[in-house]
Amino acid sequence: MLRSMTDITKRDTTAVPRGEALLHDPLLNKGTAFTADERTALGLTGLLPPHVHRLEEQVARVMDNHRNKQTDLERYIHLVSLQDRNETLFYRVVVDHIEEMMPIIYTPTVGQACQQWGHLFRRPRGLYVSWEDRGRVESVLRNWPQRDVRVIVVTDGERILGLGDQGVGGMGIPVGKLSLYTACAGIDPARTLPIMLDVGTENEGYLRDPLYLGLRQKRIRAEPYDAFVAEFVEAVQRVFPDALLQFEDFGNQNAFRLLERWREKVCTFNDDIQGTAAVTLSGIYSALRLTGKTLREQKLLFLGAGEAGIGIGELIVSAMVDEGATAEEARRCCSFVDSHGLVVKSRTGLAPHKLRFAHDLPGAPDLHAALEAIRPTAIVGVSTVPRAFDQRVIEAMSRMNDRPIVFALSNPTSKSECTAEEAYRWSSGRAIFASGSPFPPCRLGDRLFVSGQGNNSYIFPGVGLGVVACRARLVTDRMFSAAARTLASLVLPSDLELGRIYPSLTRIREVSAHIGAAVAEVAYRDGLAGVARPPDLLAMVKAAMWEPVYRKYA
């Protein structure tokens, strides 16, 4: 029988641990906020300093310590350690200071953490499922103490941000992503599960590092790899049948294939392909409010033809078709440059995912030549090639367009194709700019520019929230298109005046709720929802959002 939304968000409160065991349970611990009555009832008297602090006072203590740290990596360690002790306090801090915390708990700082995972390791979080567990993956999953898991993020660590193969250190990404699910969309942290599939690594530095935490072997490939992932996905369906499964930071050779294999069978999506596509499409919609043009009038040139680039292209094609274009017309509006130059039909050896965007055009050896051949209205950087959008590129875009659209989306900051300040300065303030990692506001003459961060956290938490709230059986491209349109609709005129084409992060929970309702609407319209439709979808979604406030024990 289908359970109500109240049941979905309710935790099992029948067996609360006592004494020191309670203080060591991060989901239940309140630290110095336990009241005198609670301390007496739960055997905590004497185990805590006598003064009882309010949650707000605890937040102030955390922020004082946080801001006294000398580096962002130290701040990351401080916050993760807090998360391991007291999840409610951790999320209260993140929600109340989201703009300050987002770059620490996720990009760009999480990239540093992944690179030093074996050296920073203190306490395990999530599940590590290794190649050596093949044949018994289901039993490994059953070791997880929480049964009612609703969102799983899994990686194999092969393509972490723009940093490449981080092996088992890639676990930092599922941990960080699920923190954003909770902070940005109110997914109950007790219902989330980060998973690392350790199938080896090609990173020689890690294989030689005595502190590396993963398998000391080269990556498993081809049929054995697919069989292992299949065992994992099928085990998830048996152990956590209500869970949304998000694939994250898999290498190109696996990501597209895995998505195509599983997307029509289980409730799953790939954030690098579909989430990035939706947040970029939303940015394009917002930019068009500044240019006064339509989507079908755009010519987009992508630098990078991997998961992110092709995923964006496919979603833009879908959106153009919805506006009346044919699929062939829409594909001609999207061109790609990879490490060998412009992707064209005459090139041999193109990967299957690139063939759909290989046009009948003369070749161009590099981005500069492709710019002159295509004369795009927008350039989208998903290449992880730092400073690829140099002064020549920005000036050429500004010569071709009154308001050139420049998206430098590669993460982390060190991989960005250009900075916000460079885009504005080289375009004389005319560029419409967005980036994957945050850049500080900059001033050009008497004008202040506050650039938008095209971060997937605007999309995937809300999509997950909508899927969980309505118990959707599948996650579809129509849901991501709806998410993109909804996000763009929430950009205020005051945001656009500053050059920001995404809402302020301070509104992220409001944004996620509206995206969740839009996703649920698609699920109900397409017959994919697993609970009866309520009168008010937005109210249903908001009711499913967990809030970081302490529960009462006595």
**Catalytic residue list:** 106, 177
User: How many of the other CB atoms lie within 10 Å of CB of 94?
Assistant: 23
* DSSP per residue, 238-287: HHSTT-EEEE-S--HHHHHHHHHHHTTTSSEEEIIIIIHHHHHHHHHHHH
Q: Which amino acid is it at 94?
A: V
d(CA 548, CA 190): 12
d(CA 343, CA 304): 10
d(CA 371, CA 342): 10
Residue 269, beta-bridge partner list:
246
Nearest by Cα to 390 from 374, 366, 355: 366
Asked if the peptide bond before residue 108 counts as cis, ω within 30 degrees of 0, the response is yes
d(CA 542, CA 429): 39
Asked whether 479 and 523 are in contact (CB, 8 A), the reply is yes
Tokens 């074996």 found at: 118
Record the tokens describing residue 242, joined without a space: 């209500």
Strand order across the 192-198 sheet: 127-130, 192-198, 151-155, 244-247, 268-270
C-alpha triplet 436, 273, 298: angle, nearest 5° = 70
Tokens 């990596």 found at: 73
Phi, psi of 337 (to 5 degrees): -115, 125
Buried b / exposed e along 347-383 (16+ C-beta atoms within 10 A): eeebeebbeebbeebeebeebeebbebbebbbbbbbb
Is 374 strand, coil or helix? Answer: helix
Nearest by Cα to 317 from 309, 329, 301: 329
Strands 432-435 and 405-408 come out as parallel
* Helix axes 55-67 and 72-85, enclosed angle (nearest 10): 150
d(CA 269, CA 277): 12
